[in-house]
Amino acid sequence: MMRNRGRPVAALVLSLALVWPILTPPAAQAAPPPPPLAATPPMGFNNWNAFGCDVNETLIKETADVLVSSGLKDAGYQYVNIDDCWSLRERGPDGRLVPDPAKFPSGIEGVADYVHSKGLKLGIYGDAGTKTCAGYPGSLGHEELDAQTWADWGVDYLKYDNCNNQSDGSQEDYVRRYTAMRQALDRTGRTIVYSICEWGTSQPWTWAKGIGHLWRTTGDISDNWASLRSIIRQNAPLAPYAGPGHWNDPDMLEIGNGGMTATEYRTHMSMWAMMAAPLIIGTDLRTASAETMAILGNRELIAIDQDRLGVQGAVVSDENGLMVLDKPLAGGDRAIALYNSTDTLATVGVATGETGLRRAGAYRLTDVWTGATTQVRSTISAGVPAHGTVVYRVRPLRDPATVAPAVAVGAGLGTVVPGPTSDTTPPTTGPASADGATPATAASEPAGDDTPATAGPEPAGGGALTTTVTNRGVGAIRDLSVAAEVPAGWTAAPATPARRARLATDATLETTWQIGVPADTPAGRYPIDVTASYRWGPRQRAATTSSQIIAVVVTAPEDGRRHLSTISPVTSANATGPVEADQSNGGPLENDGNLITIAGQVHTRGLGTTTGSELRYYLGGRCSRLVTDVGIDDEAAGGPATFTVYADDTAAAASGPVAAGEAPKTLTADLTGAAWLRLVAESAATGTHADWATPVLTCGGVPDDSPVLPESRTLFSFETGTEGFTIANPGDGGTVAQSPLFHTEGANGLKVSTPVAGNWFGRPLSTPLDLSGATMLRFDLKAGDVGTVGEIAVQVGEGFSWCQGGLWTWTNPHSSKTVTERFDQLSCPAGVTLDRSDVRAVWVFLNTGGEVLIDNVRAE
């Protein structure tokens, strides 16, 4: 112990007294506030995307088990959420919601206890309307009782939907309905995450902070690329509205459900993480593949999504289908995503100065999917596959000499047409070497250029490939050589140099290749691998970088008369949004149009474009005629517009100016001998909604009275009345009557008055239908003032077994569309086979408590 050497005790006491207030915090100083609930985007599971209404206690418990055993719980997934259809159809005598005892014999409370015992949390589903989307009791007017019921059961998360909402459509009503449940949840005293699911209808990002912890920004996701791309485009610009405790929700994950490629599922996970979106798994984890589990369990990507700063990645650039997102991370790193929504390989890049990265002489990039580490000087770029996303974790780098440079390998390839190669050139397979060891194919006009080929009915085979190799690292790379690996039987030869002794920082080697394709090559998608080999750094280490481009081989249509909307164009350019098949253009998003309608005439087949559009189809000299109606769609004023059909470069038919409201004009184009078909719609101001209605292409010299493919068989057209349509559940209400107000076949359709909770409309058949050759059922509808859900079911066999798909296709108020259900999407009771030759009844489901017009129930 140190002694006090001569210092007075009083002085020591005084000095302690002086420092005491510094050593002891004042009693009045407030403790830091706790983090908000849902401080990071919620992670977990929901059954709807994979199971729909087929939810039960066993599924939920087994999913909880898998979350733990697979390591997904440790990765951050904690909520196990039950969606719609968990309750009985009626409330109990005390007014409370009642779990279906067949599905949940332990009740929701028993399931919650099991889930909690696993260290996980339980979610439930409710609806801010009188009925849920599947027709079960909603919580509108029952908020206090339902919130307390869920709290008593031990629920930790509420997804609150928007069906049958009785709304006047105003934002004020949406705020009122969702605030009522927020206040009811608060009064329970239980901590419950509140997920507002009103589909982005009232722009909840502008009002729901402080009410919900997350809010849907879009309509329902589907397990296909068009849906994913559309949702990314809608949600990405909303970064300013997200943060800890309040998140933009672009809907649940479809990863693993089979409708997309692995590349598209990685984009799904990547963009959700970059957008700080909730990660709610929507696949059957009990049977998920190793690839699916690896995508869902990517710890580096989850860390980006769950970063404690809670910032949604901002859109830095968005042009021609290529998007760059920049997301700041705790600790100073940034996540940079390079997203390619186009249908071919593309080089996506951004200058570091355009991001939030602080200035440095070099930057270290870690690819969160591969783990590869590279360095760049001032530009982050990569060859990104079609529908793919590259995500880097980026930080400044002091010594770039020890890290491999980032080398971006890109490629572009026009249309590939099979055909004869040069007689003087022997066929060669495998990679083309940098010195041109693989001989070149015959020179030809490369199909897929902006100018269509005009050489005649049999253009030379192959196409033109352009490769680019760009050094983005600090310091030159040396001994660069490029190789193109083509499918067996194909040829590839560089027409320009494919080798460079030295490539400086930000310099590019561009090489043009001639690709030869055998004449008997089937239409399809074929990979071409482009590899750059080089040396880098003071020690001249060897390295390679590769990208893959998909060659799309097109062939002429088969013999027959076909709806042109069933044939994919080789190229498609449109001024506003995508060209839509069998619907009008609608707007900037996929599948946002109505049934094509020109001067009141409704068409179920066609192409919805805007003026400033061009579509190109390869005919190969095998087709003879195109017949189509053209006009301005009723959904939007505009025009006049001019429609022109080109056979190669010759105008084969032209409409002259067509005004809005004018009856459709019929064009007949002679395509004899043409290699290419082009459809062009033009006007003084681009963007007018221009329709190609019911275009039919004739190929192979078939007679003009041949049936148009795919063949359609009308089951009910309502020309003679209601055709016996009735109600499946009389107690639920609804009426039917013949009506001329909407028809897509004949002069009449069916007007259906729907109950709020919905009903099935159709009829049992006196004679069974044989639909053996059909693959789908369809019907057309036009919604009234409140919109509607549409679905199709059948009954089969002597027992009239009910087979239903569980798809709920929504149509907005005053909008129209075709509702489709494939037979392979229909589920029958256990032990029942869906015998298409023995269909005993056909039913369509409609709801929301308004009038709906339908027509042309058919099999195709």
Q: Is 58 left (phi over 0), alpha (psi -120 to 50) or beta?
A: alpha
220 included as an active-site residue = yes
Sign of CA dihedral 15, 20, 22, 26: negative
Calculate mean pLDDT across residues 76-82: 98
**Closest residue by Cα to residue 813 from 788, 780, 789, 787:** 787
Element (H, E) at 608: strand 606-610
Q: What is the pLDDT of residues 267-314, one digit of tens each?
A: 999 999 999 999 999 999 999 999 999 999 999 999 999 999 999 999
430 vs 682, higher pLDDT? 682
- Rounded mean pLDDT, 249-276: 98
**Catalytic residue, candidates 100, 113, 152, 220:** 220
122-150: pLDDT as tens digits: 999 999 999 998 889 999 999 999 999 99
* Closest-CA residue to 241 (of 294, 282, 277): 277
Residue 731's pLDDT band (boundaries 50, 70, 90)?
A: confident
Q: What is the pLDDT of residues 499-548, one digit of tens each?
A: 999 999 999 999 999 999 999 999 999 999 999 999 999 999 999 999 99
Q: What is the predicted pLDDT for the residue at 23?
A: 38
- The residue that leads in pLDDT, 245 or 31, is 245
Burial bucket for residue 731 (CB in 10 Å: 0-12, 13-18, 19+): exposed
Structure tokens at 237: 């610009």
State yes or no: pLDDT of 25 exceeds 70.
Answer: no
Tens of pLDDT, residue by residue over 169-200, are: 899 999 999 999 999 999 999 999 999 999 99
Looking at residue 847, its pLDDT comes to 83
Q: 164-168, 760-764, 819-823: which range is least confident on average?
A: 164-168
Where are the extended beta strands (E) located within 368-474? 373-376, 379-384, 389-396, 407-413, 431-432, 463-471
The answer, yes or no, to whether residue 4 has pLDDT greater than 70, is: no
Average pLDDT for residues 554-573, to the nearest whole number? 94
Residues 6+ apart with CB under 8 A from 778: 792, 818, 819, 820, 821, 856, 857, 858, 859, 860
Band of the pLDDT at 27, cuts 50, 70, 90? Answer: very low
Q: What is the pLDDT of residue 360?
A: 97
* Residue tagged active-site, from 83, 161, 249, 648: 161
DSSP state of 455: S
Task: Please give the average per-residue pLDDT across 331-351, as a whole number.
Answer: 97
Structural domains of the chain ordered from first start: 43-310 (3.20.20.70), 317-402 (2.60.40.1180), 407-553 (2.60.40.10), 560-709 (2.60.120.1060), 713-859 (2.60.120.260)
Contact 469, 478 (CB under 8 A): no
Q: Which of 505, 507, 499 is nearest to 534 (CA)?
A: 499
Q: Let me know: does 490 contact 517? Beta carbons within 8 Å.
A: yes
- Separation of alpha carbons 662 and 822, rounded Å: 36
Report whether pLDDT(1) > 90: no
Question: Buried (b) or exposed (e) across 264-283, using 16+ Cβ within 10 A?
Answer: bbbbbbbbbbbbbbbbbbbb
Query: What's residue 257's pLDDT?
Result: 96
> What percentage of the chain has pLDDT greater than the value 70?
91
Task: Give the pLDDT mean for 19-39.
Answer: 60
Mean pLDDT of 607-630: 96
Supply the pLDDT for residue 422: 37
Average pLDDT for 840-856 = 92
pLDDT at 43 over 80: yes
Distances (CA, A) of 5 to 1, 9, 10, 15, 507: 12, 10, 14, 16, 74
Catalytic, 161? Answer yes
Question: Looking at the predicted structure, is the pLDDT value of residue 433 above 70?
Answer: no
Long-range contacts of 650-656 (CB under 8 A, 24+ apart): 650/674, 652/626, 653/626, 655/630
> Which residues lie below 8 Å from residue 22, measured CB to CB, with a gap of 6+?
none
pLDDT tens digits, one per residue of 459-499: 457 899 999 999 999 999 999 999 999 999 999 999 999 99
* Per-position b or e across 112-129, b if 16+ CB within 10 A of its CB: bebbeebebbbbbbbbbb
